[in-house]
Amino acid sequence: MNTFRSFLCLSLVVGTAFGFQNSQSFSSSSRIPTELQMERRDFVATSAAFALLTGVSPSASAAGIATASDGNLPDLPNEAVRAYLQYRVQLQISADSYVFSLQDKVGDIDEWGEIGQLFQVNNNRGQGQPSKIERDFVNPMRVLLLSFPPDVSEDMRDAQFKFERAANKISKATAGYRRDLPVDIPASSINDAKAGWDEGRIALNEFFVLLNKAVGLDELTPIPPAGPNQQKEYGRSARRYNELQKKVKLCQNRGGPALSQAWGQLMVSGYLQDSCGIPDMEEYFRQKKS
């Protein structure tokens, strides 16, 4: 059984890695509708297995996480159901990172060099890999909105565009600054970076509210504004997020850089829980602050 699980795990990693290698970064305004439709069909074809694993596992309902038969999901197109069940966990983890990681980096100019890495596009060997911001936030939002009916997707697209503009504002404000390269940072850059973070928070919340309403569920947790009560109001645990990131990094190191981008999808599928100590992602998704 362990040999079979290891083999299956490796197979999924390799397959997902190829999928990521074939993805290309692009600006939201530059893709024509035909290309967007092709991307949606490609997504459905290549990730159906992951959608089934992450969205309709037998333990999901018992764990308190919605399945394909809950809320408005039975009334939505199959593509929308598959996209939601696959990407809801990733989007919530991304929101956690926005609160527990990016927010601190924006407020600490010594960490601005690391912010730059989040927006860095990897063009290794001529194959453009999306930045971490696009991979963790923009691409899931794009796949979801392309899967939902137009009366919902148009508002989702507006929220996505708002988030991208906010992210670009953060990137522009923090560009060129590194801890080992001390320079005078104008107050306007600090203000712009913080304003960009808050605008991104509002846009992400708008997307979450639209998605929750569309699926008839209340699973995605919006981000409260910065302040002393933020973490209490958010209701999710910074400790558990940091523990998750440490374990994910351990798994990434085991696979090497060629497979590192595949671990996110494989982690959500549940196949890494035994080998790397990754917590149960359904339980993490519905967790409250502890």
The residue-averaged pLDDT of 82-103 equals 96
CB 116 within 8 A of CB 174: yes
Q: 248 pLDDT band (50/70/90 cuts)?
A: confident
Domains annotated on the chain, with CATH: 78-233 (1.20.120), 237-289 (no CATH)
148: left (phi over 0), alpha (psi -120 to 50) or beta: beta
Give the residue from 95, 187, 91 showing the smallest Cα distance to 140. Answer: 91
pTM: 0.73
Q: What pLDDT score does 276 carry?
A: 65
| Element at 201 (helix H, strand E) | helix 187-215
pLDDT tens, residue by residue, 116-131: 889 888 766 556 678 9
Q: Record the tokens describing residue 65, joined without a space.
A: 């996480």
The residue-averaged pLDDT of 222-251 equals 92
Q: What pLDDT score does 236 carry?
A: 96
Residue 181 DSSP SS3: strand
Give the residue from 134, 55, 121 showing the smallest Cα distance to 94. Answer: 134
Return d(Cα 100, Cα 204) in angstroms, integer.
15
CB 137 within 8 A of CB 94: yes
Output the average pLDDT for the chain.
76
CB 76 within 8 A of CB 214: yes
Which residue has tokens 């404000």?
173
Q: What pLDDT score does 42 carry?
A: 38
